[in-house]
Structure 1
Amino acid sequence: MEETQDDPGGAFVWGEAERRAALGDVAYLRELGARLSDQYQDATERARTYAHQLGHVIRVLALTPGRQSLVELMRLVDEKRRPSHPRELASLLAEHQRPADLAATVFGRPGAGTADELAPCLFHELLLRSADMQGIPQPRSSHTLAWLPARLLDFEAGAAFPHRTVNGSAGGSGTAMPAEGRLDPPVPRTTERSALRNTATVEVHESIVSAPQAGDWGHFDAWVFRLDEDLDPVLVPALLPALPMPCTEVGPTGRFEVALSPLGEVWRLLFATASMGGVYGGGVGGAYGRMWAWRSMAGLAGAPAGAGAEEAERLARETTWFRFEADSEWFHNEIGCDFGIAALSPDHRRLAVLAATDTD
């Protein structure tokens, strides 16, 4: 096969394929395609290697404390438009660098313009860690994360984060039922299903499942039930197993655990679900983990479409929250990989449910 020198690969000249085809030399075309395929695979593997090596260098710079390493990292980020994952970088920086150094080098750099995604993410990563926010500017009003409160609320305190080193990371947050506030319904339970029907719209459903969807959990679903009269919160544990949801079909004696839960516990579960992800998901990091935890919380609490964070917070504080788990076939029933949340609205006329499950 005659080689050409039209490109660095030495195997392709524009128009040559058409000329050979016209001459009937289809064997040449097959050989050319095979060679290009091999070159493409080699280039892809090299690009993957370079990306891995570049990621390692960025990680080392981010995890090396000190202003000088930050200066060099930001030069690399701004000059080469790398990395392509600012959310992950923001999380690394918040974990290993001093807020004062970040204020000077990340937020105060010339490259921190309107197109910058690193600064807004880093703001919320630091906020969630109760960092000293002096000199740390809030995200611009047009940014998605600007919807979130610019202060850390009491129920957000104590959020869990992964712990990263140069060579890897470890983290995760279990979903085990709390020991306190338990209200497990007695057995045997009735097998009769409630006549209530799911009224969740597509928009409400998407809001409620925001956290497990962002965290790439294996399976999740949401339901909303409208009640004809006020429901006393003490009756919720008995009602949950009877609701027409596949995640609660456990029979009269199957395990069904329910606990009254503080808002902070529910929010931290939603945050871990989104920020650290499921078994095979890496999560979306702290900043967007906060965003999607709030979206799920707002949907469960019944916040109307377009509501601001202040309205979502008010409703969430007035909502009665429950956690539950069940040995239904819908759940995988693996430790740390199942959870259910139920939210009774302030007027006691709406019961919203989120369930999620994952497995390896």
Structure 2
Amino acid sequence: MNDSDDDFSRFAWHTAEQRAAQGDSRQVADLAVELTHRIEAAAEQTRDHEHQLAHLVRVLAITPGHDSLTQLLRLFTRSQGPGVGLAPRFVASLLAEHREAADLVGPLSERDPKGRLDELRICLLHELILRGVDVDAFPKTIDWTRVKYGDHPLVWLPRRRSPLETRVVFPSRAINSSAHPGGSVLPKEGRLDPPTPRTQERSALVDTATLDLHQMIVSAPEAGGWGHSEAWVFRADEEVEPDRVPALLPTLPMGCVEGLGATSRFEIARRPADEIWSLLFATASIGIGHDGAHGAFGRLWAWKSLAALSDAPADASAEEVEHHVQQTTWFHFESDAEWFCNEIFADYGIAALSPDRRRIAVLAATATD
């Protein structure tokens, strides 16, 4: 059909019902088919434009110098909304990787009455914090958390890097290439593998995770696009000593250990809280099969998963969560249960014994569906 867009729209809105009532439904259907073709073509063109835009933005973000940064910010301030189509999380990550904080703070703090730099600013703030920058040395960054578009989830995070956040891994990116570090393998240190054959008697403990709690525990792998993740929470009537946890986990009613034989591989290690944070941060920020949530939101979702695993109160501040996490006993495990795909860097399980030793929370993540 060679109808102009105006003729096409005029028919679709003002003539279709009349033609159908007159028994000419075929022309209505033909135009509907034409419209689907136009939509598909427009979507393909949009994807091409988005890919081209992403490359141009990457060039500007990575190219050294004041001019490239100025032109990059011009894109944001002239866009139709706060970073529309410009992937502020990704741009903030690139800027923090390739430029000094002192070179960024001034230009990013320029007047922006429409708030189009808000998302870029607040993401960049946390990218810099993760890289050890003392943002309090740059007073202008105080305004970066005062977003125009209402409360922002990143405001919950602290303006300092916690001792839990010292094992940070970042991708290494150039204009036309990227290198992503691998995941975390089970260490030889702190191993507590239960002896085999293990008991096949199932524990009487029952999963008590609510939907909200489940979603919070798995927030890090969900943000990272992992293939599948699950969470379970068990409460005991009496205290569970940490040395009982390795033997107890394979007996719990969890899909991630279902079908595990008495002698099948089940390996577990006790790990410090900062290593668990690092594992969750890499899970969320780098992701599997795509770019993940990047540093700022990777930081947020690592903390949220930690908070839920450690039984921190739902309304706890970041500082309160940090204290709770430090009081929790952490375990990292792997197994040959069918739930896991058993590929290196593509599976893990985390178990958390709460400070009162009456609650065991488990997160299992795998790269496959």
Q: How many angstroms does 1:172 deviate by? A: 3.9
Distance 1:34 1:114 in 2: 39
TM-score (norm 1): 0.91
- State yes or no: 1:139 paired with 2:145: yes
Alignment of 1:33-44 (within 5 A): 33-44=32-43
Structure 1 residues 356 and 42: alpha-carbon distance in aligned structure 2, compared to 1, 3 A threshold = closer
**Secondary structure in 1 matching 2:306:** helix
Distance 1:242 1:319 in 2: 21
- State yes or no: 1:13 paired with 2:23: no
Q: How many angstroms does 1:335 deviate by? A: 1.2
User: Hey, what does 1:304 align to over in structure 2?
Assistant: 313
> Which amino acid in the other structure matches residue 258 of structure 1?
I
User: Hey, what does 1:319 align to over in structure 2?
Assistant: 328
Question: How large is the RMSD of aligned CA atoms in angstroms?
Answer: 2.4
Alignment of 1:15-164 (within 5 A): 15-17=14-16, 21=20, 26=25, 28-81=27-80, 82-110=84-112, 113=115, 116-133=118-135, 134-135=137-138, 136-137=141-142, 139-140=145-146, 142-164=151-173
Distance 2:220 2:98 in 1: 26
How many residues get paired? Answer: 356
Q: How many angstroms does 1:39 deviate by? A: 3.5
**Post-superposition, which runs of at least 4 consecutive aligned residues in structure 1 deviate over 6 A?**
none
Distance 2:116 2:78 in 1: 16
**Secondary structure in 2 matching 1:44:** helix
Q: Which moved more, 1:51-60 or 1:82-91?
A: 82-91
Structure 1 residues 292 and 166: alpha-carbon distance in aligned structure 2, compared to 1, 3 A threshold = same
Unpaired segments ≥5 residues, structure 2: none
Structure 1 residues 4 and 274: alpha-carbon distance in aligned structure 2, compared to 1, 3 A threshold = closer
**8 Å CA contact retained: 2:76, 2:116:** no
TM-score (norm 2): 0.88
- State yes or no: 1:229 paired with 2:238: yes
Unpaired segments ≥5 residues, structure 1: none
Q: How many angstroms does 1:106 deviate by? A: 1.6
- State yes or no: 1:283 paired with 2:288: no
Q: How many angstroms does 1:193 deviate by? A: 1.0
Structure 1 residues 23 and 255: alpha-carbon distance in aligned structure 2, compared to 1, 3 A threshold = closer
